[in-house]
Amino acid sequence: MKTFFASLLWLWMSFVIVGAFFYAPVAEKFQVPGSSRIVFFHVPMAWCSFLGFIAAAVWSTMYLFRGNPRHDLAAAVAIKLGMVFGVLATVTGAMWARIEWGAWWNWDPRQTSILASLLFYAAYLALRQSVKDPRLKGRLAAVYALLGLVVTPYLFWVVPRITYSLHPDPVVNTSGKVEMDPRIQHVLYASGLGFAALFFWMHNLQRRIESLAERYAAPWE
Amino acid sequence: MFVKEWRCEFRTRYALNTLALFAFTTLVVVSFSLGPMGVARSQGSTVLPVLLWIILLFSVAAGLPRTFVQEEETQTAMALRLSATPSAIFCGKLLYSLTLVLALEVLVTPAYLIMTSLEVASPWLLAGVLAAGGYGLAVGSTLVAAIIAQASSKGTLFSVLSFPVLLPLLVLTVELTRGATAGDPGGVALPVLLLYDGTLTVAGLMLFPTVWNP
């Protein structure tokens, strides 16, 4: 069953890749039209990064209510994967920005907010490392993850709008104003679904690896 | 709770002295290297508000973690847990941090404005931003201080954990301080700042009992 699911995912992602290069048209309004194909991989990565946050917050809440260490581990793994996808989204975004806007980094609101969320993930992992007692660690980390869920909406939606309105920058808006071709939308949503499935598949693998590692690290428990 | 905090503080005057000295030293360094001539007037209103808030942020990070760390170090945390409800403790600590931050701002801001000869077009907006921003700093750092008090390597961890939480706040306050020096009311930024303060307060009140009770 598990191999069936994995091969289905493999097939699905292969279709997405083929679709991204041969089915979807390029966005002609871009400076370099071909560069628009990155949207099928970059945007789902950013979604997955945010998905990691939400999943971690859900598992953290469950941990606070039930106290089951499996939920704590699941939350920690979700944060780690969210960080991986966040770094990938940042790097691919910087590559695209170099081509389209001419600079790797230009403090566009989106870049700023994803950088801040990466800082948050890193802080969460630092907190986990500095507490020895597993129950205390779980509790403090869960509280911090929930605090993160409170703060991130401001980072992602509110603050960019405000700083944007004070500093109008016409370059930023070119990608926001592009009307999407329906075929681009098909591939984008299919890719998003594929990436979400990939996220949970990787999450499951990593969670099992870490629980095995924990068991063998402390055989007396 | 609030009175008890200040009584403890006056016994050692640790946080007060650290905060004031730290802020003043950074202030002197910044204004010495920039000075009235260091930045052109046109750039002044862009650069100087950022430095003011960085001074305030780092002073807060130097002094405020003490509020909970000290309870764990002197092993009075358990007695405190028995004698008061979590929300009373949170509010008391918050009020104490708030007075400390506001005192710091009252001390630092005029000195900063004089030393860098930064002109403020709308002083009332600046006062409002300092009050709201100071409140946000106090709430955020009180909650994070409660978290780190129970972890090891407390000092560095405080900065690491609190900066992502305080980042949206600082972006807003810097924008508004710029607006205040330039005489621009800043639109929706002030309501959003107040909303952020409110959100942090509610989150703090809801999450604090979980952090506090073992």
Per-domain residue ranges for chain B?
2-212
Segment among A39-48, A147-156, B146-155 with least mean pLDDT: B146-155
Q: Which chain A positions have a beta carbon within 8 Å of B147's beta carbon?
A: 127, 140, 143-144
Q: SS3 for B19?
A: helix
Q: What is the rounded average pLDDT of the residues A71-83?
A: 90
Determine the distance in angstroms separating the CA of B55 from the nearest CA of chain A, rounded to an integer.
20
Q: What does the pLDDT read at residue A171? A: 37
Neighbours of B21 (CB within 10 A): 13
**Residue A177: is its pLDDT beyond 50?**
no
Q: Which of A187-201, B55-69, B156-170, B193-207 has the lowest mean pLDDT?
A: B55-69
**Whether the predicted pLDDT of A137 surpasses 80:** yes
Give the single-character DSSP code of B24: H
**pLDDT surpassing 70 at residue A165:** no
Q: What is the pLDDT of residue B155?
A: 67
- Residue from the list A142, A151, A165 with its beta carbon closest to the beta carbon of B165: A151
Residues of B137-162 as b/e, b for ≥16 C-beta within 10 angstroms? Answer: bbbbbbbbbbbbbbbeebeebbbbbb
Contact A45, A202 (CB under 8 A): no
Q: How far apart are CA A202 and CA A196, in angstroms?
A: 10
In order of B5, B102, B117, B142, B151, the CA distances from B94 in angstroms are: 10, 12, 33, 6, 20
Q: How far is B3 from chain A (nearest CA, A)?
A: 28
pTM as predicted: 0.79
- A162 to B153: CB separation less than 8 angstroms, yes or no: no
- How far apart (Å, rounded) are the C-alpha atoms in residues A35 and A96? 7
Predicted confidence at residue A58, as pLDDT, reads 92
Tokens 């016409």 belong to: A170
pLDDT at site A32: 66
> Percent of chain A scored above 90 by pLDDT?
3
Query: pLDDT value at position A191?
Result: 82
Written as six digits, the tokens of A67 are 């106290």
> A137 vs chain B: nearest CA distance in angstroms?
8
Cβ-defined contact of B186 to A166 (cutoff 8 Å): yes
What was the pLDDT predicted at B25? 83
Q: How far is it, in rounded angstroms, from Cα B192 to Cα B129?
A: 11
The band of A116, judged by pLDDT with boundaries at 50, 70 and 90, is confident
By C-alpha distance, which of A208, A209, A206 is closest to A198? A206
Compare B6 and A154 and report the one with higher pLDDT: A154
Residue A73: exposure state from Cβ atoms within 10 A (0-12, 13-18, ≥19): buried
Set of chain B residues whose Cβ sits within 8 Å of the Cβ of A136: 150, 214
Average pLDDT over residues A30-57: 80
Contact A151 B187 (CB under 8 A): no
Q: What's the average model confidence in pLDDT over B69-78?
A: 74
For residues A148-167, give the mean pLDDT.
68
Q: Tell me whether residues A162 and B151 touch, CB distance under 8 A.
A: no
The dihedral of CA A197, A125, B160, A153: what is its sign? Answer: positive
Q: Is the pLDDT of residue A164 over 60?
A: no
Residue B83 distance to chain A (closest CA, Å) = 22
- Identify the CA nearest to B200 among candidates B168, B172, B158: B168
Pick the more confident residue, A138 or A111. Answer: A138
- Taking residues A113-142, what's their average pLDDT? 85
Report H helices in chain A: 2-18, 39-66, 69-100, 109-129, 134-153, 159-166, 182-217
Mean pLDDT of chain B: 79
- Sort out which chain A residues have CB atoms less than 8 A from B167's CB and list them: 116, 119, 155
Of A72-81, A149-158, B85-94, B163-172, least confident by mean pLDDT is: A149-158
Longest dimension (CA), chain A: 63
Cβ–Cβ below 8 Å for B150 and A140: yes
Residue closest to A135 by CA, chosen among A68, A74, A75, A78: A68
Q: What pLDDT was estimated at residue B36?
A: 59
Residues of B in contact with A116 (CB under 8 A): 164, 167-168
- pLDDT score of B112: 81
